[in-house]
Structure 1
Amino acid sequence: MTRSHLPGILAMAAIVVASNILVQFLFGQWLTWGAFTYPLAFLVTDVMNRVYGAGPARKVVFAGFVVGVACSLIGTQIMGEFGPLVTLRIAIGSGLAFLTAQLLDVGIFSALRGGKWWRAPLASTLIGSTVDTALFFFIAFSQTLIWIEPGNDVSWANETLPLLGAGPAAPLWMSLAVADWMVKLSLALIALIPFKMITTRLTTAKLT
């Protein structure tokens, strides 16, 4: 690790901490404010990968994972209205989804880095975000995995409702997952602009 990697590590840590805090606050019926900050983790990973390579990008990912684990441990000790703010299933789902999706992002980006500038960040973020959403919500809320934490009542998340209030009947957690996924996909497109600006600036700075 070099001093040049520190901004990426600090940015990732800040995003993880902010997202863990903001996920406690609702935005509308299907989202939390954390849904708008967490996708920025993919931007940080992709910038690090483009400018410094896959190795430093993975170091940033692992730093974010460690910070996320620390946040989860703290959350398990904070009691909310219905129990701990972070349950065992949420902690497992969050950590596993983050690490899997981010490392997948690094691998896909590296495989596509030689193509057009936008292809690697867009493809890696879209695929990584999809895996992240599927893993987290299934692990954290699906009735199928109730055996992970039998004492955690997730019946509320499995209440059958129209998908996003208008689609076919599905468990509530699926509506939450789809809404979260749609935000991630939208931000993946928007993030191409700062990705291009930041990578161009950092690459130029490396050459001077």
Structure 2
Amino acid sequence: MNRAYLPGILAMAAIVVASNILVQFLFGQWLTWGAFTYPFAFLVTDLMNRLYGAGPARRVVAAGFAVGVVCSLIGTQIVGEFGPLVTLRIAIGSGTAFLVAQMMDVAIFSALRESRWWRAPLASTLVGASLDTALFFSIAFASQLTWMEQGNDVSWANEALPLMGLGPVVPLWVSLATADWLVKLSLAMVALVPFRIIVQRLRPETA
């Protein structure tokens, strides 16, 4: 493995580990602290893609996926007040969402590589982040998928409440997903700043 890829792998691993820890701590009514760290995984993927190409970016994604699997396995062994911190559905949802969304990010970024500098990272992150949110929350909490883990009671996540306390009545998990998605979209815009700065410093000819 090229040593130049190591910073990207370490950064991705750090983000995945931090997000798995911080997701246990609430931020307000609809979010956890992990919602503010995980979106930067897309920044790492996009930087690797811009600096080294799609192949190395996919390797970093694979490394992040492996770290996420380990975190999920550890989480299944830690029992909290309501059972294991990581249920089977959460583990499947997390892994599936990460892998599919990040690989989509790589594909979209590569397709837009020759366009203006901001289009590839912005479009790939917006699509990838939206896909990530939809896959994770639906797999982990939707009542239609209770067959995946019948012993896991997700009735709390399907309580009918106004969307984020203001909108139409929807299952609670939809409000959680919406809040998470809005954070991802906001951070996608913010991440353009470090993306531009890092690329200009490391590969000015590609900026």
TM above 0.5, one fold? yes
Answer yes or no: is 1:98 the counterpart of 2:84. no
In structure 1, the residue matched to 2:3 is 3
Q: Report how far residue 204 of structure 1 moved.
A: 4.2
Q: Report how far residue 200 of structure 1 moved.
A: 1.2
In structure 1, the residue matched to 2:54 is 54
Looking at structure 2, the residues matched to 50 and 205 of structure 1 have their Cα atoms a distance apart, in angstroms, of 11
Within a 5 Å distance, the mapping from 1:24-63 to structure 2 comes to: 24-63=24-63
In structure 2, the residue matched to 1:152 is 152
TM-score w.r.t. length of structure 2 = 0.98
Q: Report how far residue 205 of structure 1 moved.
A: 9.9
Looking at structure 1, the residues matched to 205 and 126 of structure 2 have their Cα atoms a distance apart, in angstroms, of 29
In structure 1, the residue matched to 2:70 is 70
Looking at structure 1, the residues matched to 188 and 116 of structure 2 have their Cα atoms a distance apart, in angstroms, of 16
In structure 2, the residue matched to 1:135 is 135
Q: Report how far residue 199 of structure 1 moved.
A: 1.1
Runs of 5+ consecutive residues of structure 2 not aligned to the other structure: none
Q: Report how far residue 201 of structure 1 moved.
A: 1.2
Looking at structure 1, the residues matched to 205 and 113 of structure 2 have their Cα atoms a distance apart, in angstroms, of 20
Moved over 3 A (4+): none
Aligned-partner SS, 2:103:
helix
Runs of 5+ consecutive residues of structure 1 not aligned to the other structure: none
Q: How many residues align?
A: 206
Looking at structure 1, the residues matched to 6 and 205 of structure 2 have their Cα atoms a distance apart, in angstroms, of 16
Are the structure 2 counterparts of residues 205 and 118 from structure 1 closer, same or farther at C-alpha, using a change threshold of 3 Å? closer
TM-score w.r.t. length of structure 1 = 0.98
Looking at structure 2, the residues matched to 3 and 198 of structure 1 have their Cα atoms a distance apart, in angstroms, of 18
1:80-128 deviations in whole A, cap 9, x for unaligned? 0000000000000000000000000000000001000000000000000
In structure 2, the residue matched to 1:178 is 178
Looking at structure 2, the residues matched to 142 and 204 of structure 1 have their Cα atoms a distance apart, in angstroms, of 46
Looking at structure 2, the residues matched to 82 and 124 of structure 1 have their Cα atoms a distance apart, in angstroms, of 37
The residue type paired with residue 138 of structure 1 is S
Aligned-partner SS, 1:113:
coil
The residue type paired with residue 80 of structure 1 is G
Within a 5 Å distance, the mapping from 1:185-204 to structure 2 comes to: 185-204=185-204
Q: Report how far residue 38 of structure 1 moved.
A: 0.1
Q: Report how far residue 202 of structure 1 moved.
A: 1.4
Looking at structure 1, the residues matched to 135 and 205 of structure 2 have their Cα atoms a distance apart, in angstroms, of 38
Looking at structure 2, the residues matched to 112 and 103 of structure 1 have their Cα atoms a distance apart, in angstroms, of 14
In structure 1, the residue matched to 2:82 is 82
Q: Percent identity of the aligned residues?
A: 76
Looking at structure 1, the residues matched to 108 and 134 of structure 2 have their Cα atoms a distance apart, in angstroms, of 18
In structure 2, the residue matched to 1:123 is 123
Aligned-partner SS, 2:18:
helix
Looking at structure 1, the residues matched to 37 and 176 of structure 2 have their Cα atoms a distance apart, in angstroms, of 16
